[in-house]
Amino acid sequence: MDKYDVIVVGGGPGGYVAAIRAAQLGGRVALVEKNELGGTCLNRGCIPSKTLLKHAEAIELIEKARGWGIETGPVTFSLKKMMARKNKVIETLRSGITSLLKKGKITVYNGEASVNQQKHVSIQLAEELKVIQGEKIIVATGGRPFLPPIPGMNEVDVHTSDTIFNLTEIPKSIVIVGGGVIGVEFASIFASLNTEVTIVEMGNRIIPSEDSDAAKLLQKILKKKKIRILVNKKVVSMSQDGEDKSIVIQSDDGKTKKLLCEEVLIAAGRKPNLSAIEKLDIRMNGLYIEVNEHMETNLEGIYAVGDIIGGWQLAHVASAEGLIAAANAVGMKERIDYKVIPRCVYTSPEIASVGMSEEQVKERRIPYRVEKYSLSSNGKAIAMDETDGFVKIMVEEQYGEILGVVMAGAHVTEMISQSSAFIYLEGTVDELANMIQPHPSISESLFEVAGAWKGMGIHT
């Protein structure tokens, strides 16, 4: 039986990053992946969605430029070419991962893995069942879309984020069930392709996990883009007649309404992939694997990282956890630190936040004051004709420590890292107000909001 110091199960951003780090630290490492390297993030998540959102941005920009006196002919688009570019982006990045694993001398097995208590990993390869043994195991098997039990749904050809990227024709209309981050990103993509988009959300607002001011702004802009947003609505049944799909939604008062559409996308959350751990007596935390701060499960030498442990369910968090698990698997003693986790929504306008949300600050009863600065008077935003947005800071009152930052607007997903650095280094509002920001830039809004918090704003 082939033996390894570390066997990683799952080749997504949690798993492949863990494998590379374990190899860098001197381990003999194997990685088992049943589908494609890169996992959900690269193949069915972050990267394909951001590629299509870039197309959406280009289409919107061309339309907008008419108002600036820049005329082109009517905008036409080829879904086939857009999807081909998306596939090319994925392939480029996937071949990069393959090279990195090769460089790290990591053995890659392509098959479904199952781990037992003795740390034997059985892998169902195309031709044979192979068993390998690991001194340590890192489980990084991620998750897949959750399909809520909606009566009639089995009879309807619905899409999830796993299948929607394979569309070959632009639908005339789509109902997106779920107004979370994934739902609103797809709504933006389809609206730019002139698809009639309806979002059905059970809660009282879209992106419930994000700041309420940011959600309010996004809702306003999505509505301007003719996206219909139905909140406090539950899908109670579905049916299909030929190609036509119908969805019955119910309001809190019990009233029902039928929506007709060509496509349905279910974006109602995700659930963990547990096939690798079925033979293990592993302690769970609800649906997810429980781990300690060293990313170790209740079984010594078996670690778990990424979406399989629940929590943030973000690619960069999966990778950060993978680095910790890898270090510990080769004998170090490292702890995960979740203090600074940037969170991004890649719609237009973008939304980005880091540190505590205002709700969290309130829950912890930390004395704080909040300040908000609108991008409507920011020079760069006006020059770009992208003034929808704001920067909001939550600052601890006694020492002025920055506790949380929320940004909405153009390019804020790139800008949030500056705030991450401030929070990581326990920076204060005075330091932020003293930072010289480039002019013109959206980043100047950080200088302005910090000044405004102190009652010394210049353009406020």
Ligand X SMILES: Cc1cc2nc3c(=O)[nH]c(=O)nc-3n(C[C@H](O)[C@H](O)[C@H](O)COP(=O)(O)OP(=O)(O)OC[C@H]3O[C@@H](n4cnc5c(N)ncnc54)[C@H](O)[C@@H]3O)c2cc1C
Residue 273 makes contact with ligand X by CB under 6 A: yes
H runs (alpha helix) in 28-103: 39-44, 46-66, 79-103
Q: Are 227 and 215 in contact (CB under 8 A)?
A: no
List 313, 347, 378, 419, residue binding ligand X (CB under 6 A) = 313
List 12, 171, 272, 400, residue binding ligand X (CB under 6 A) = 12
CB of 445 to ligand X, least distance (A): 23
Residue 413 makes contact with ligand X by CB under 6 A: no
Q: Which member of 120, 411, 439, 459 is catalytic? A: 439
CB of 319 to ligand X, least distance (A): 8
Contacts of residue 254, Cβ cutoff 8 Å, sequence gap at least 6: none
**Per CB under 6 A, which region of 29-37, 81-89, 148-156, 371-379 contacts ligand X?**
29-37
List 19, 29, 49, 222, residue binding ligand X (CB under 6 A) = 49
**Which of the 8 DSSP states describes residue 203?**
S
Residue 142 makes contact with ligand X by CB under 6 A: yes
List 53, 83, 140, 217, residue binding ligand X (CB under 6 A) = 140
**Which of the 8 DSSP states describes residue 155?**
G
**Per CB under 6 A, which region of 65-73, 135-143, 252-260, 361-369 contacts ligand X?**
135-143
- Among residues 155, 157, 89, 123, the alpha carbon closest in space to that of 7 is found at 123
Q: How far is CA 392 from the centre of its chain?
A: 21
**Whose structure tokens read 């919107």?**
60
List 30, 59, 112, 159, residue binding ligand X (CB under 6 A) = 112
CB of 420 to ligand X, least distance (A): 14
**Cα–Cα dist 181/351, whole Å:** 10
List 314, 320, 375, 429, residue binding ligand X (CB under 6 A) = 314
Helix (H, G, I), strand (E, B) or coil at 183: helix
The residue (of 141 and 374) whose beta carbon lies closer to ligand X is 141
**Cα–Cα dist 418/402, whole Å:** 12
CB of 189 to ligand X, least distance (A): 10
Q: How far is CA 286 from the centre of its chain?
A: 21
Proportion of the chain in helix, strand, coil states, percent, rounded to 5 = 35, 25, 40
Residue 389 makes contact with ligand X by CB under 6 A: no
CB of 74 to ligand X, least distance (A): 30
**Cα–Cα dist 408/305, whole Å:** 30
Residue 20 makes contact with ligand X by CB under 6 A: no
**Cα–Cα dist 307/51, whole Å:** 22
439 is catalytic: yes
The residue (of 141 and 173) whose beta carbon lies closer to ligand X is 141
Q: Compute how many other C-beta atoms are within 10 angstroms of the C-beta atom of residue 216.
A: 12
List 4, 8, 15, 420, residue binding ligand X (CB under 6 A) = 15
Contacts of residue 243, Cβ cutoff 8 Å, sequence gap at least 6: 262
249, burial (CB in 10 Å: exposed 0-12, middle 13-18, buried 19+): buried
**Cα–Cα dist 84/165, whole Å:** 11
CB of 316 to ligand X, least distance (A): 5
**Per CB under 6 A, which region of 7-15, 256-264, 288-296, 359-367 contacts ligand X?**
7-15
- Among residues 33, 18, 38, 39, the alpha carbon closest in space to that of 104 is found at 18
**Per CB under 6 A, which region of 58-66, 202-210, 222-230, 305-313 contacts ligand X?**
305-313
State both tokens at 109.
């097995």
Helix (H, G, I), strand (E, B) or coil at 132: strand
**Count of H-run helices and E-run strands, the chain:** 12, 23
**Which of the 8 DSSP states describes residue 60?**
H
Residue 450 makes contact with ligand X by CB under 6 A: no
Residue 13 makes contact with ligand X by CB under 6 A: yes
List 40, 173, 192, 445, residue binding ligand X (CB under 6 A) = 40
Residue 11 makes contact with ligand X by CB under 6 A: yes
List 275, 360, 376, 434, residue binding ligand X (CB under 6 A) = 275
Residue 46 makes contact with ligand X by CB under 6 A: yes
**Cα–Cα dist 87/82, whole Å:** 9
Q: Which of residues 167-196 bind ligand X (CB under 6 A)?
A: 182
CB of 61 to ligand X, least distance (A): 21
Residue ranges in contact with ligand X by CB under 6 A: 9-15, 32-35, 39-41, 44-46, 49, 112-113, 140-143, 161, 182, 273, 275-276, 306-308, 313-316, 318
The residues carrying an active-site annotation are: 439
